[in-house]
Amino acid sequence: MRHEESSYPQDWFRVGNKELNRARYLLNGGDLDGTGFNIQQAVEKYLKGYLLSSILRSTTPSASSGQGRMNWREKTQEIPHN
């Protein structure tokens, strides 16, 4: 992924898969601290992908609504960033 954060859920799922594969590798080598860290990173990436996909789904209008598609960036402005 580029330095700028991706807006595509599949990018975050792909990075999560890489983190999980690293965790498996480290677990096979006996590095429990590294394994735990990479699992935690994978969960963060999967969660971010899930949240982005939820936002994208919620901003896609139904065929019967007649409303235009809301920009997902506008929707994410409502989410508190702590």
pLDDT per residue over 28-55, tens digit each?
999 999 999 999 999 999 999 999 998 8
Residue 24 placed within a domain? yes
Q: How far apart are CA 54 and CA 62, in angstroms?
A: 15
Residue 76 placed within a domain? no
Structural domain boundaries, residue 21: 9-56
Residue 29 placed within a domain? yes
Q: Using alpha carbons, list the distances in angstroms from residue 26 to 21, 38, 48.
A: 9, 9, 23
Tell me what percent of the residues of the chain surpass a pLDDT of 90: 55
> Which has more confidence, 72 or 31?
31
Residue 74 placed within a domain? no
Neighbours of 12 (CB within 10 A): 23
The total number of structural domains in the chain stands at: 1
**Region 15-33: what's the mean pLDDT?**
97
